[in-house]
Chain A
Amino acid sequence: MKIVLKNLTKKFPSRDRKKREEVVAVNDFTFEIPDGSLVGLLGPSGCGKSTTLNLISGLERPTEGRIFFGDDDVTDLPAENRGIGLVFQNYALYPHLTVRQNILFPLENLKGKEKLSREQMAGKAREAACLVQIEELMDRRPGELSGGQQQRVAIARALVKRPKVLLLDEPLSNLDARLRLQTREEIRRIQRETGITTIFVTHDQEEAMSISDLIVVMKEGEVQQIGRPQEVYDSPSNLFVAKFLGTPPVNVFYGRIGDGKLYIGLEAVMEIGEGKDQEVFAAVRPEGFALQEDGPFTCRLKGREVMGRDVSVLCANDASLNPTVRCIVRAEDKVDLGSAEVRFSLIPGKVLLFDRETGQRVDFEVM
């Protein structure tokens, strides 16, 4: 099922009763989610990603704009008629019911010609349980399960009615680090096996990047960028997106374009093609530094962190926005910790320039 959002806007009355102004949680969203894809809504807290999810689910109604499932306008359709499954951040499993009863719950609501016989329901529940591999837990109560198991039950409950769309709200945030890796693979597998269009919300960029077909980066109610994870990482449309994606985060410097060169501080660090001379932010991915004895970019050496495969060189530069510049180099490359300085050349594809005023991406030619 393809999902189309058109000019979707949601305003809330301000929490502060004295103020009359409204809070715009979601501002003029327009985008299309292709059938059968896994989409991550990504952004810091308060960016409107959960509100977007609630609008798609029908739990909240948009102030303006329309929502389409396929060719059907579902904007005015109540949540229960939209054919969606929703997994809550805290799973919202009914604590007084067993796993089986929890999974059966949505099926027992069906009325009229959709009504199922006992056997049909049991069959569907078993199928859903098999899909998430919890067959042996059916008679336990949610309180007796681990976080990861609860998550699976919640997904099974959401899937048992064969929804057209599956929505997950921060699906991994309540799990510990190891389970998180495992569960995100699991979500990917389930989505592939069922082919259900799936949207999940997260504030963890790594999580979104690793399993999504498409990510939507949001900030303060506005969509910043939509695209395949690698695309968005390689060519972020603005400084916010560049800073938000990638660990360790991108290093940002005050820079200037002049005479076809990029200056950081007083050093001309890179040749770039003809363009307008202007002040910029130069963002360099940690992997965008190459050690070079006579390289054009000089930093004060602060130390080194060994991380096995790679080595982080920690240094400082007066033009940097952050006190520490983190550069990832290969473990074989030797750094002389005795020296006060370290010199790099920059790898052109890992350098991004942004307008000082607007934060928008400035394109340049790689020489």
Chain B
Amino acid sequence: MDNTADYRTLEKRAQRKDAFIKAGTYGILLVWAVMVLFPFYWMVLTSLKSYGTYNSEYVPALFTLSPTLENYRDAFTAVPLGRYLLNTAVFTVCTTATMVVVVTLAAFAFARLEFRGRDGVFVGFLSLMMIPNELVVVTNFVTVTELNMRNTFQGLILPSVMSVFYIYLLKENFEQIPDSLYKAAKVDGTSDLKYLIKVMIPISKPTLVTITILKIIECWNSYVWPRLITDDQAYYLVSNGIQEIRENGFGRENIPAMMAAVVVISAPLIVLFLAFRRKIMDGVSRGGIKG
């Protein structure tokens, strides 16, 4: 019996099957890629169609030959889109900065300092991670209203600052820094705060950057709390702005202008994502946090 020929057919069959599976795999992946990308394509496409063109298309065209930027001008002039963007930027920067400071100090206390009750408090913190935001929003709403902080940045920022999970993440990271460094610093007479700033923060920079970026994303997209606490357009964030535009802006029909606003709002985060792709994806998969 000629075994070699037998093996050849065996191998050929296996190869054909592999090629088939591979084609199927790429097919599925491609379909999902189109599903993901299509809304983005559609939003850019629509934002480039003129108002007249869009409304005359009973059957929507899949591309446009006469792109226009007038919708972008409308988006900034007909509604205070610039204002929304500015508000969101202020809100995002203040919230994220405060969060980073507070979280770093707390993580340092848990990871490095020794005091009675530390572990108990830490367990307490962890258990707070399980409390859904929806449960505390009611009281926070009442509190902020009673403090007359509706339609203020304080009212927007203060309840949005804390993220217990990041304390946990950073504490884990701090704990990986060897004890010997701390002891060496103590022998040299370095204060705790200086040690934190000069040693721990630089070493943990990758984690801090990840936390910062994730918080920025969270802030930029936050909708529920800002909606509850602002009814003055001067304090709207982009999410509320979009909702406002949809319900009262441009008039219901000016969809191209709406899409232009949507593009403007989405662009900063997409740029941020493309720049820090690895960091963001690593951070999310490591943290297992849901946005």
Taken together as a complex, chains A and B put the C-alpha atoms of A76 and B13 apart, in Å, by 12
Asked whether, in the complex, the Cβ of B10 is within 8 Å of the Cβ of A81, the reply is yes
Please name the residue on chain B nearest to A69 by beta carbon: B3
Asked whether, in the complex, the Cβ of A76 is within 8 Å of the Cβ of B8, the reply is yes
Taken together as a complex, chains A and B put the C-alpha atoms of A81 and B10 apart, in Å, by 9
CB distance from A105 to the nearest CB of B (A): 21
CB neighbours of A78 from chain B (8 A): 10-11, 14
CB distance from A35 to the nearest CB of B (A): 17
Taken together as a complex, chains A and B put the C-alpha atoms of A73 and B5 apart, in Å, by 10
Q: Interface size of B by Cβ–Cβ distance < 8 Å?
A: 7
CB distance from A85 to the nearest CB of B (A): 19
Interface presence of A74 (CB below 8 A): yes
- The residue that B10 contacts in the complex, of A72, A73, A77, with Cβ under 8 A, is A77
Asked whether, in the complex, the Cβ of A72 is within 8 Å of the Cβ of B14, the reply is no
Taken together as a complex, chains A and B put the C-alpha atoms of A81 and B14 apart, in Å, by 11
Q: Interface size of A by Cβ–Cβ distance < 8 Å?
A: 7
Q: Which chain B residues (181-236) contact chain A, with CB distance < 8 Å?
A: none
CB distance from B1 to the nearest CB of A (A): 10
Q: Which chain B residues (4-20) contact chain A, with CB distance < 8 Å?
A: 4, 7-8, 10-11, 14
CB neighbours of A76 from chain B (8 A): 7-8, 11
CB neighbours of A72 from chain B (8 A): 3-4, 7
Mark B1-40 against chain A: 1 for CB-CB distance below 8 A, else 0: 0011001101100100000000000000000000000000
CB neighbours of B14 from chain A (8 A): 78
CB distance from B15 to the nearest CB of A (A): 9
A-B interface pairs (CB < 8 A), number: 18
Mark A210-234 against chain B: 1 for CB-CB distance below 8 A, else 0: 0000000000000000000000000
Secondary structure at the B interface, as helix, strand, loop or mixed, is: helix
Q: Which chain B residues (131-167) contact chain A, with CB distance < 8 Å?
A: none
Please name the residue on chain A nearest to B10 by beta carbon: A81
Please name the residue on chain A nearest to B3 by beta carbon: A72
Q: Which chain A residues (41-75) contact chain B, with CB distance < 8 Å?
A: 72-74
Q: Which chain A residues (307-340) contact chain B, with CB distance < 8 Å?
A: none
Taken together as a complex, chains A and B put the C-alpha atoms of A81 and B11 apart, in Å, by 10
Please name the residue on chain B nearest to A78 by beta carbon: B14
Please name the residue on chain B nearest to A81 by beta carbon: B10
CB distance from A174 to the nearest CB of B (A): 26
Taken together as a complex, chains A and B put the C-alpha atoms of A77 and B10 apart, in Å, by 8
Most A-side CB within 10 Å, residue of B7, B10, B14: B7
Please name the residue on chain A nearest to B8 by beta carbon: A76
CB neighbours of A81 from chain B (8 A): 7, 10
Most B-side CB within 10 Å, residue of A72, A74, A76: A76
Taken together as a complex, chains A and B put the C-alpha atoms of A78 and B11 apart, in Å, by 7
Taken together as a complex, chains A and B put the C-alpha atoms of A78 and B7 apart, in Å, by 9
CB neighbours of B4 from chain A (8 A): 72-73
Taken together as a complex, chains A and B put the C-alpha atoms of A146 and B25 apart, in Å, by 40
CB neighbours of B7 from chain A (8 A): 72-74, 76-77, 81
Taken together as a complex, chains A and B put the C-alpha atoms of A81 and B7 apart, in Å, by 9
CB neighbours of A73 from chain B (8 A): 3-4, 7
Taken together as a complex, chains A and B put the C-alpha atoms of A73 and B3 apart, in Å, by 8
CB neighbours of A74 from chain B (8 A): 7
Taken together as a complex, chains A and B put the C-alpha atoms of A181 and B4 apart, in Å, by 42
Mark B35-71 against chain A: 1 for CB-CB distance below 8 A, else 0: 0000000000000000000000000000000000000
CB distance from A72 to the nearest CB of B (A): 5
CB distance from B17 to the nearest CB of A (A): 11
CB distance from A113 to the nearest CB of B (A): 16
Please name the residue on chain B nearest to A72 by beta carbon: B3
CB neighbours of A77 from chain B (8 A): 7, 10-11
CB distance from B90 to the nearest CB of A (A): 43
Q: Which chain A residues (68-99) contact chain B, with CB distance < 8 Å?
A: 72-74, 76-78, 81
Taken together as a complex, chains A and B put the C-alpha atoms of A73 and B11 apart, in Å, by 13
CB distance from B6 to the nearest CB of A (A): 9
Taken together as a complex, chains A and B put the C-alpha atoms of A81 and B8 apart, in Å, by 12
Please name the residue on chain A nearest to B13 by beta carbon: A78
Taken together as a complex, chains A and B put the C-alpha atoms of A72 and B10 apart, in Å, by 14
Most B-side CB within 10 Å, residue of A72, A73, A77, A81: A77
Taken together as a complex, chains A and B put the C-alpha atoms of A74 and B7 apart, in Å, by 7
Taken together as a complex, chains A and B put the C-alpha atoms of A73 and B4 apart, in Å, by 6
CB distance from A241 to the nearest CB of B (A): 36
CB distance from A19 to the nearest CB of B (A): 23
CB distance from A165 to the nearest CB of B (A): 16
Taken together as a complex, chains A and B put the C-alpha atoms of A219 and B14 apart, in Å, by 35
CB distance from A111 to the nearest CB of B (A): 14
CB neighbours of B3 from chain A (8 A): 72-73
CB distance from A68 to the nearest CB of B (A): 10
CB neighbours of B10 from chain A (8 A): 77-78, 81
Please name the residue on chain B nearest to A82 by beta carbon: B7
Taken together as a complex, chains A and B put the C-alpha atoms of A76 and B11 apart, in Å, by 7
Please name the residue on chain B nearest to A80 by beta carbon: B14
Taken together as a complex, chains A and B put the C-alpha atoms of A296 and B29 apart, in Å, by 78
Taken together as a complex, chains A and B put the C-alpha atoms of A73 and B2 apart, in Å, by 10
Please name the residue on chain B nearest to A73 by beta carbon: B4
Taken together as a complex, chains A and B put the C-alpha atoms of A77 and B8 apart, in Å, by 7
Please name the residue on chain A nearest to B18 by beta carbon: A78
CB distance from A164 to the nearest CB of B (A): 13
CB distance from A75 to the nearest CB of B (A): 9
Q: Which chain B residues (98-143) contact chain A, with CB distance < 8 Å?
A: none
Nearest first, the 3 closest Cβ-Cβ pairs linking A and B are A72-B3, A76-B11, A77-B7
11 contacts between A and B (CB under 8 A): A72-B7, A73-B3, A74-B7, A76-B7, A76-B8, A77-B10, A78-B10, A78-B11, A78-B14, A81-B7, A81-B10
Residues of B at under 8 Å CB distance from A? 3-4, 7-8, 10-11, 14
Residues of A at under 8 Å CB distance from B? 72-74, 76-78, 81
> Knowing that A72-B7, A73-B4 are A-B contacts, what are 4 other residue pairs whose CB atoms are under 8 Å apart, sorted by A's residue number?
A72-B4, A73-B7, A76-B7, A78-B11
